[in-house]
Amino acid sequence: MDIDDYMRYMEELLERLRVLMTQNCIRILQMLEEPKYWTQLVEELNMHRWLVKRYLDKLLEVGLVESFVKPSERGPPRRYYRLAKELAILFIISSNGVFIREIPLSSNEVAIQEVLKKYPSVRRILEIGQEIPHEEIEKEINSLTLAIRLLLSLRRSKR
C-alpha cells in the first residue's frame, strides 16, 4: 500500500469513527441485529423520521449500513437496512505512536459472538473463568456442532 492509499484508508476510517461518535448512530447499529425498515427504526427509536434518515444516510455513506428493497405483504415494497460488515476497530496508543486499524471479523468470530449472545450463561462462564484463546473456543464450538448433528441423526434413525 503506497502512501496515497494509506492516507485514503485513514481518512475513510476516521470518517467512520466520526459517525460512530454519534450516540444515535450507535443506537441504530445496535437495533440492526436483524434487518429493519425505516418506519420500524423511527418507532423503536422514538425519534423524528427525518433525523433517523439523516443518521441512516451517514451510516450508509461510510459503509457501516447497507439497504435493500423487499416486497411487502401489503402496500409498496419496503427498503430495509442492515449491518454492512462485522468489524472491530483496534486502537493502539504507545510511545511508538498511534495505530488505528479496522479488522473484519471472520465467520468463526461472528459465530462465537452469536453463541455468546444466544447463551448468556456461556458468556458468564467465560467472564468468571480464565480467559480461553479463540482457537479453543472455535474447537469447542465445532465439537458441539458435530455432537448435535450426531445426536440429531441418531434421533432421526430411531424413528
pLDDT tens track for 81-102: 999 877 777 777 778 777 777 7
Of the chain, the end-to-end C-alpha distance in Å amounts to: 59
Whether residues 94 and 141 share a domain: the answer is: no
| Per-residue confidence (pLDDT) for residue 67, from 0 to 100 | 94
Whether residues 96 and 112 share a domain: the answer is: no
Whether residues 22 and 95 share a domain: the answer is: yes
Residues of the chain with pLDDT > 90, as a percent, come to 26
Q: What is the pLDDT of residues 94-139, one digit of tens each?
A: 787 777 777 776 665 666 666 667 766 666 666 655 566 667 766 7
User: Regarding predicted confidence, which is higher, 67 or 74?
Assistant: 67
Structural domain for 136, as ranges: 107-158
- The number of distinct structural domains making up the chain is 2
Residues in contact with 111: Cβ distance below 8 Å, sequence separation at least 6, in sequence order? 141
Whether residues 118 and 99 share a domain: the answer is: no
In what side-by-side order are the strands of the sheet with 65-70?
Answer: 36-37, 78-83, 65-70
Neighbour tally for 5: CB within 10 Å:
9
Whether residues 98 and 26 share a domain: the answer is: yes
